[in-house]
Amino acid sequence: MARTGVETSLTELAARIAAAADRARGSGRFVLGIAGPPGAGKSTLARGVRDELNIHAGARIAEVAPMDGFHLTNDRLREAGKLARKGEPDTFDIAGYLATLRRVRETAPGQQVPWPTYSRELHEPVPGGVVFDQHTIVVTEGNYLLLDTGEWAAVRPLLDQSWYLDVPRPIIEKRLVRRHIRGGRTAADAKTKVEHSDLSNARLVERTRFTADLVLRKSGRGYRID
Ligand SMILES: Nc1ncnc2c1ncn2[C@@H]1O[C@H](COP(=O)(O)OP(=O)(O)OP(=O)(O)O)[C@@H](O)[C@H]1O
Ligand SMILES: [Mg+2]
């Protein structure tokens, strides 16, 4: 039997977060975490929710805090012999991610907190790529937010709400190959990277699906809640 789900829109999803943030109103900032496998569309969803929140509020109340900003630099990865495994759970500055997430969550709106972004052109993190200021809502997104092992396990308690963005494997594979090619790899290189690295990361992340508050799938122009 086909699984049935509730259809929802970006507007409704953002309204959920606005309401939850209102209920939770404390001295710090509200944190939404969006997890999911590589290429699921997490960054796209995070930007969509941010934009909806800001449009509805008529002010910049939300901003995206990408986990990808905490990629270790290529120099650091090369030194550690991990460059070929870039993207795996131990190729990020997890301590930095946790400390900055804690800081942005615990400080009051108005206190500036710089957050690094990641450049897909330079293939490097960009320090202070975004700065939290008056924002009251943080949308952090990345593969490993819901892992329950090692240092990553400390992320979950810092999320006021968590979503998992699900997507069929064949779609992820196609998207990732296309993106690696756009990033400068040959078609053969792109396929190897996807098969040997991205998909094993995807399998690791898929195990965290059931711990999210909400599981979403893209459906038509909106999303479906599973
Ligand atoms: N809802 C969607 N429909 C069609 N294509 C999409 C959708 N969301 C994202 N994409 C495309 O899929 C690719 C991956 O999207 P995105 O960068 O948002 O994923 P991601 O989960 O952040 O990936 P990563 O884990 O590698 O950072 C992009 O090329 C994007 O344009
Ligand atoms: Mg992304």
**Per-residue pLDDT tens digits for 38-50:** 999 999 999 999 9
Q: pTM score, two decimals?
A: 0.94
State which amino acid sits at residue 70: F
Identify the band that residue 27 occupies on the pLDDT scale cut at 50, 70 and 90. Answer: confident
DSSP bridge partners of 118: 125
CA–CA–CA angle 135, 155, 97 (5° rounding): 65
Q: How many domains does the chain have?
A: 1
User: Which pLDDT score, from 0 to 100, does residue 25 have?
Assistant: 80
d(CA 175, ligand 1 centre) in Å = 7
Is 70 within 8 Å of 96 (Cβ atoms)?
yes
Centroid of chain to Cα 144: 8
**Is 23 within a domain?**
yes
Report the CATH number that the domain containing residue 24 is assigned in CATH: 3.40.50.300
In a mutational test of the pocket of ligand 1, which residue from 34, 43, 91 has the highest number of ligand atoms less than 8 Å from its CB?
Answer: 43
Q: Give me the half-sphere count of Cα atoms (radius 13 Å) on the Cβ side of residue 101.
A: 29
d(CA 179, ligand 1 centre) in Å = 9
Residues of the chain with pLDDT > 90, as a percent, come to 89
Measured in degrees and rounded to the nearest 5, phi and psi for residue 162 equal -130, 140
**Antiparallel, parallel or unpaired: β 222-225 and 214-219:** antiparallel
User: Which pLDDT score, from 0 to 100, does residue 182 have?
Assistant: 92
User: Which pLDDT score, from 0 to 100, does residue 103 have?
Assistant: 98
In a mutational test of the pocket of ligand 1, which residue from 44, 51, 203, 216 has the highest number of ligand atoms less than 8 Å from its CB?
Answer: 44
d(CA 118, ligand 2 centre) in Å = 9
Q: Please state the rounded mean pLDDT for residues 131-140.
A: 98
**Antiparallel, parallel or unpaired: β 30-35 and 124-132:** unpaired
**Is 221 within a domain?**
no
**Is 219 within a domain?**
no
Centroid of chain to Cα 183: 20
User: Which pLDDT score, from 0 to 100, does residue 92 have?
Assistant: 98
Q: Is the CB of 41 under 6 A from ligand 1?
A: yes
Domain assignment of residue 165, given as a range: 6-213
User: Which pLDDT score, from 0 to 100, does residue 221 have?
Assistant: 87
d(CA 185, ligand 2 centre) in Å = 18
Closest atom of ligand 1 to 218 CA is 1
Q: CA-to-CA distance for 220 and 80, rounded, in angstroms?
A: 43
Q: Please state the rounded mean pLDDT for residues 100-123.
A: 96
Give, as one character, the DSSP assignment of residue 62: E
Closest C-alpha residue for ligand 1 atom 14 = 39
Closest C-alpha residue for ligand 1 atom 18 = 41
Residue 210 has pLDDT above 60, yes or no: yes
User: Which pLDDT score, from 0 to 100, does residue 2 have?
Assistant: 40
3-state secondary structure of 222: strand
Q: Is the CB of 40 under 6 A from ligand 1?
A: yes
Mean pLDDT of the chain: 95
Q: Is the CB of 44 under 6 A from ligand 1?
A: yes
**Is 218 within a domain?**
no
Identify the band that residue 58 occupies on the pLDDT scale cut at 50, 70 and 90. Answer: very high
d(CA 220, ligand 1 centre) in Å = 15
Identify the band that residue 1 occupies on the pLDDT scale cut at 50, 70 and 90. Answer: very low
User: Which pLDDT score, from 0 to 100, does residue 4 have?
Assistant: 53
Both structure tokens of 143: 């593969």
Q: CA-to-CA distance for 163 and 165, rounded, in angstroms?
A: 6
User: Which pLDDT score, from 0 to 100, does residue 90 have?
Assistant: 97
